[in-house]
Amino acid sequence: MRRTIGLAAATLLFCAGCSSMGVEPWERDILAKDEMQLTTDEIEAATDDHIYFSKEASSGGRGFGGGGCGCN
Amino acid sequence: MQRDIRLDLAEDAWQGRFQAMGSPCEVVSEARKRGDALEITSLVAAEAWRIENKFSRYLDGNIVDRINSAAGRPVEVDDETADLLDFAVTLYRLSEHRFDITSGVLRRVWRFDGTDQVPEPENVREVLQRVGWHRVDWQRPVLTMPHGMEIDVGGIGKEYAVDRCAGLVKELHGDPCLVNFGGDLVATRAPGRRRSWKVAIEGDVTAAPDRIIELKQGALATSGDARRFLLKHGVRYSHILDPTTGWPIPDAPRSITIAADSCVEAGMISTLAMLKGVAAEHFLKAQNVVFWCRR
Amino acid sequence: MSRKENRSISAALAAATCTLLGSGVPAPVDAQEEPLWDFNTSLLYYGEDDDRVKDYSVSAIARRMFVDDRYLTLGLTVDGLTGATPSGAIRQDVPQTFTRPSGNAAYTVPAGVLPLDDTFKDTRVALSAGWQQPVGETSLINVGASASKEYDYTHFGVNAKFARDFNQRNTTLSAGFAYSFDSLDPVGGAPTPLTPMLDVGDTSNRTGNPDKDVLDIIFGVTQVISRNLVVQANYSYSMSDGYLTDPYKVLSLVDASGDTLPQTLTPGPSHQYLFESRPDERTKHSIYGQAKYFMNGKVLDASYRYMTDDWEIDSHTVDLHYRIPFGADSYFEPHLRFYTQSEAEFYQLSIPDSQPLPSFASADYRLGDFDAITAGLKYGWRTRNDNEMSVRVEAYRQTGSVPAGQIIGNQAGRDNYPDLNAIIVQVGYRF
């Protein structure tokens, strides 16, 4: 457990330290496209979260845990 | 006259700004490099200032000044001026003589500064003697105008400049670009980085804009009296004057915005609609254009 | 002016403009007022084979924009569930009779068939509302609430999230939480854990309405790596407290040769079954990473999630989507997902009569050791009126196994772990 938290904290710190990485504002053309958003379809993502929450023992990751139903 | 250009980055597009034709002008482009954006803005500014220098009634020595100080003598004009005059004639006819480029002299008696200084009827009648395209002899390329009359192409000039500039940008650069001279604007192409250009229509000066237009490509032009009007006894006198009477068009809408293929078309439809006064919406519906009309 | 004369102005004006501008006439106009509302709707069919769970679902999310980039989001989902689910009892070479969870009737399962409990007919309605607005120049806040109701389960929840941009919007840090207050009203009442399944009409081992609270906390960072690549990493913590047991699931009580002990009560259960029992607390940690990579018009979406909890379940999920444009207005998107989990510490196939009762035990296959794979294909296109439509079809397959140490005697020859095969079909329309 402690090792997991340590790994997670290290990952986040590493990423936050990437302050020199990135693009200039006028280079965001591709990133602005709909298909490059982290969640392209809210309903599809919510549907999958709900199905896998009901049929598996894990949930969430991308966002909040799903759940709120009597399926597990 | 301010003749400098500013270039800034606004989110994901370049915004070039300068003053021309009495309006704040901007060129929004999705160019990849700063150098390209500067080249586009400089090109647009150069053309805008060229048209302003040539057709402004405030400058000495240009073609409009020569026409207006000809005192009855014939003046030969170049092709571009002749094209504009031919266009003005078409509009004169299509508007049943209410769009008239000789009506500029009426500003001698009408000053639209938000006060209640409405002119006396006899002053208006007197100035009206010097208004009317029917008094002008136009045989391309020679224009002969009676002494005391003046032409003012300000009603067409800005929209014409926008379309000319957009055409030049399209030839030079493939990137999507929005050319906006004080609210009369054209988008050369749909933007690549978002679904559309977003243009806010300004309402009354004191109220926040409450209409956003998603423009993929094409032109928008607005006619309106949000800024220029007189208010006397609670009656709002819009600055749209009827050249056949010398008085403001009664019951003209406060603002009309038109979407059309070119800025000239959009501007002229909105002007023609304004000149219809109370019948503006009826006229616009019959034209089958996309419009927003505010009273 | 007559109607006829009005009409000719457009044409005459267009012609005159063409003459004036020469060849420099710009593109045909495409302008419309920005719609304030945005809708995302879908129809879903989820179907497991072998008479198991089937779900028909309708969803809609409506989003309204307000001045200054503020948004209100409202969501509604209605699910109709039918079918049966494994009850946790194991197969036998003889028929088995079970009392229904309601306690009012019984059902019989033929010899050699996996016992399924079909008390699963239910309709569920879920609502959600959310508000998003910018905070200053670089931050965003989201607050929301959710609620759902089905016959035996009610949920209320609140959530909030705060995100801040750094480095010219190349880096975003976010933190959020969600809190749920759920209450259960199991058919027939919640059974006391590890007590026997009783005869029809006997609900002496049932108690009232239990409830459960869940707290989720999430921290995340999103980073733009290049013009074509953006990545995200999240850490989540989840704490569940209260009634976490499944009130309808049982375990078979078996003898030394692994067969379920029969009992002499008639009618009522033919054999001895005990209701399952899970701890009343569960803490989960997960880390999640996602990358979206654009290459020549195609987009690869790859993510990995590792989850571990204090029930000793560990899981790994790898999810891949690959969007391929097809023509100017449509795309294909194949999808592949791999999942594996290890069994909960208290998961067991059956309870041996010879040993003292454990504190917690469950034979629910969803807490077992299994691998799952999803393979699907989505096709999306822009409709004639400039809206978006999509169809996706997916196949989901779970295959699991019972740890060798738990298999007793005659159980060895049987197919003990209820594998799952399901089809997912979803049609979406956004306008």
Span B96-101, average pLDDT? 90
Q: What pTM, to 2 d.p., does this model score?
A: 0.74
pLDDT at C1: 45
Inspect the interface and report whether the beta carbons of C289 and A11 lie closer than 8 Å.
Answer: yes
CB C31 within 8 A of CB B215: yes
Domain ranges of chain C: 39-430
Inspect the interface and report whether the beta carbons of B272 and C21 lie closer than 8 Å.
Answer: no
Which residue reads 């088995």 in tokens? C96
Q: Would you give the distance in Å from CA C233 to the centre of its chain?
A: 21
Q: Residue C267: which residues within 8 A CB-CB, separation 6 or more?
A: C97, C106, C199, C200
- Looking at the partner chain, which of A28, A56, A67 has a beta carbon nearest the beta carbon of C341? A56
Q: Distance (Å) from the C-alpha of residue C75 to the closest C-alpha of chain B? A: 24
- Report the residue of A20, A47, A53 to disrupt the C interface, i.e. the one with the largest count of C CBs within 10 Å: A47
pLDDT in tens, B213-245: 888 889 999 887 655 666 666 666 777 788 888
Span B58-69, average pLDDT? 91
From chain B, the residues in CB contact with C23 under 8 A are 167
B208 close to C (CB below 8 A): yes
- Looking at the partner chain, which of A36, A59, A61 has a beta carbon nearest the beta carbon of C234? A61
Q: How far apart are CA C115 and CA C52, in angstroms?
A: 11
In chain B, % of residues over pLDDT 70? 91
- Report the residue of B214, B264, B268 to disrupt the C interface, i.e. the one with the largest count of C CBs within 10 Å: B264
Give the closest residue to C164 by CA, choosing from C177, C174, C156, C154: C174
pLDDT in tens, B254-270: 888 999 999 999 999 99
Query: Nearest chain B Cα to A34, which residue?
Result: B194
pLDDT at A24: 79
pLDDT at C39: 96
pLDDT at B227: 59
Q: Which residue has the higher pLDDT, B293 or C128?
A: C128
Q: Distance (Å) from the C-alpha of residue B53 to the closest C-alpha of chain C? A: 19
Q: Distance (Å) from the C-alpha of residue B170 to the closest C-alpha of chain A? A: 20
From chain B, the residues in CB contact with C7 under 8 A are 286-287
The number of C-alpha atoms within 13 Å of A8 and in the hemisphere containing its C-beta is: 21
A62 close to B (CB below 8 A): no
- Looking at the partner chain, which of A15, A36, A47 has a beta carbon nearest the beta carbon of C299? A36
Phi and psi at residue B139, in whole multiples of 5°?
A: -125, 100
Burial class (CB in 10 A: 0-12, 13-18, 19+), C13: buried
pLDDT at C397: 97
pLDDT at C378: 98
pLDDT at A5: 66
Task: Residue window 53-112, chain C: list those with CB within 8 Å of chain B.
Answer: 67
A22 close to B (CB below 8 A): no
The helix/strand/coil state of C212 is strand
C351-352 vs C250-254, strand pairing mode: parallel
From chain B, the residues in CB contact with C30 under 8 A are 190, 215-218
Phi and psi at residue B101, in whole multiples of 5°?
A: -75, -5
| Angle, alpha carbons B97-B98-B99 (nearest 5°) | 95
Q: Distance (Å) from the C-alpha of residue A40 to the closest C-alpha of chain C? A: 10
Burial class (CB in 10 A: 0-12, 13-18, 19+), C81: buried
Q: Distance (Å) from the C-alpha of residue C414 to the closest C-alpha of chain B? A: 59
Query: Nearest chain A Cα to B175, which residue?
Result: A29
- Looking at the partner chain, which of B12, B31, B194 has a beta carbon nearest the beta carbon of A25? B12
Query: Nearest chain C Cα to B210, which residue?
Result: C67
pLDDT at C265: 64
Query: Nearest chain B Cα to C26, which residue?
Result: B262
Q: How far apart are CA B294 and CA B26, in angstroms?
A: 25
Span B93-115, average pLDDT? 84
Instruction: Give yes or no for residue B195 having a pLDDT over 80.
Output: no
A21 close to B (CB below 8 A): no
Instruction: Give yes or no for residue B83 having a pLDDT over 90.
Output: yes
As given in the structure block, the two tokens for residue C321 are 């989507």
Span A14-43, average pLDDT? 79
Inspect the interface and report whether the beta carbons of C32 and B290 lie closer than 8 Å.
Answer: yes
pLDDT at B81: 94
Instruction: Choose which CATH entry (3.40.50, 2.40.160, 2.40.50, 3.40.1000) describes domain C39-430.
Output: 2.40.160
Confidence of residue B65 (pLDDT cuts 50, 70, 90): very high
In chain C, % of residues over pLDDT 70? 96
B184-187 vs B177-181, strand pairing mode: antiparallel
Minimum mean pLDDT range among A15-19, B54-58, B282-286:
A15-19
As given in the structure block, the two tokens for residue C190 are 């919640």
Query: Nearest chain B Cα to A30, which residue?
Result: B193
Instruction: Give yes or no for residue A52 having a pLDDT over 60.
Output: yes
Confidence of residue A66 (pLDDT cuts 50, 70, 90): low
From chain C, the residues in CB contact with B269 under 8 A are 9-10, 13
Inspect the interface and report whether the beta carbons of B193 and A28 lie closer than 8 Å.
Answer: yes
Give the closest residue to B160 by CA, choosing from B216, B58, B80: B80
- Looking at the partner chain, which of B163, B259, B283 has a beta carbon nearest the beta carbon of C31? B259
Inspect the interface and report whether the beta carbons of B264 and C21 lie closer than 8 Å.
Answer: yes
Q: How far apart are CA C294 and CA C323, in angstroms?
A: 9
The helix/strand/coil state of C173 is strand
C329 close to B (CB below 8 A): no
B165 close to C (CB below 8 A): no
- Looking at the partner chain, which of C3, C6, C31 has a beta carbon nearest the beta carbon of B215? C31
Q: Residue B126: which residues within 8 A CB-CB, separation 6 or more?
A: none
- Looking at the partner chain, which of A25, A27, A29 has a beta carbon nearest the beta carbon of B192? A29
From chain A, the residues in CB contact with B13 under 8 A are 26
Inspect the interface and report whether the beta carbons of B193 and A25 lie closer than 8 Å.
Answer: no
Q: B69-152, what's its fold?
A: T-fold (1.10.3980)
Mean of per-residue pLDDT scores for chain A = 78
Q: Distance (Å) from the C-alpha of residue A25 to the closest C-alpha of chain C? A: 7
Inspect the interface and report whether the beta carbons of C26 and B167 lie closer than 8 Å.
Answer: yes
Minimum mean pLDDT range among B102-106, B142-146, C39-43:
B102-106
C295 close to B (CB below 8 A): no
Strand partners, B218: B187
- Report the residue of A23, A24, A26 to disrupt the B interface, i.e. the one with the largest count of B CBs within 10 Å: A26
- Report the residue of C42, C137, C149 to disrupt the A interface, i.e. the one with the largest count of A CBs within 10 Å: C42
User: Given CA atoms B236, B240, B242, B246 in this order, what sign does their dihedral have?
Assistant: positive
Q: Distance (Å) from the C-alpha of residue A34 to the closest C-alpha of chain B? A: 9
As given in the structure block, the two tokens for residue A55 are 């049929």
Inspect the interface and report whether the beta carbons of B9 and A29 lie closer than 8 Å.
Answer: no
CB C409 within 8 A of CB C256: yes
CB C274 within 8 A of CB C250: yes
As given in the structure block, the two tokens for residue C283 are 């803490």
Span B205-209, average pLDDT? 50
* Segments of chain C scoring below 50 in pLDDT: 1-5
Domain ranges of chain B: 69-152
pLDDT at C404: 87
From chain B, the residues in CB contact with C24 under 8 A are 163-164, 166-168, 170
Q: Residue C209: which residues within 8 A CB-CB, separation 6 or more?
A: C183, C184, C185, C190
Which 8-state DSSP code applies to residue C237? E
Strand partners, C161: C142, C176
CB B100 within 8 A of CB B131: yes
Inspect the interface and report whether the beta carbons of C180 and A16 lie closer than 8 Å.
Answer: no
pLDDT in tens, C280-310: 999 999 999 999 999 998 999 999 999 999 9
DSSP state letters, C274-317: EE-B--SEEEEEEEEEEEEEEETTEEEEEEEEEEEETT--EEEE
Inspect the interface and report whether the beta carbons of B193 and A32 lie closer than 8 Å.
Answer: yes
pLDDT at A34: 85
Burial class (CB in 10 A: 0-12, 13-18, 19+), B79: exposed
From chain B, the residues in CB contact with C16 under 8 A are 86-87, 90-91
Query: What number is the ipTM of this complex?
Result: 0.89
A13 close to C (CB below 8 A): no
